[in-house]
Amino acid sequence: MLRGTIATILQADLPVIPVIWYQHTTTYSARISNVSIDPLELSYRIDQMQWTGRD
C-alpha cells in the first residue's frame, strides 16, 4: 500500500522523458488524395484515398 502510494506520487511529479522514438515514413503519388498517416499504425486508411484524375 505504501509502496503504491509512493510510486503514484513520484510518477505524478516526474517529467515525461522519452526513451525511444519512431520515425514513420510514407511515400505516395501526387495522383492520390486524402492520404493520411495513422501514428499508431492501426490502419492505412485505404478506403479514404482517392484518385485525383491527374496524369
pTM for the structure as a whole: 0.47
- Residue 25, pLDDT score: 80
Higher pLDDT, 54 or 47: 47
Encode the chain in three state secondary structure.
CHHHHHHHHHHHHCCCCCCCCCCCCCCCCCCEECCCCCCCCCCCCHHHCEECCCC
The 10s digit of each residue's pLDDT in 17-53 is 778 877 778 888 989 999 988 877 788 889 999 999 8
- Residue 55, pLDDT score: 64
Give the span between the Cα atoms of 52 and 47, in whole angstroms.
Answer: 14
- Residue 20, pLDDT score: 82
- Residue 32, pLDDT score: 92
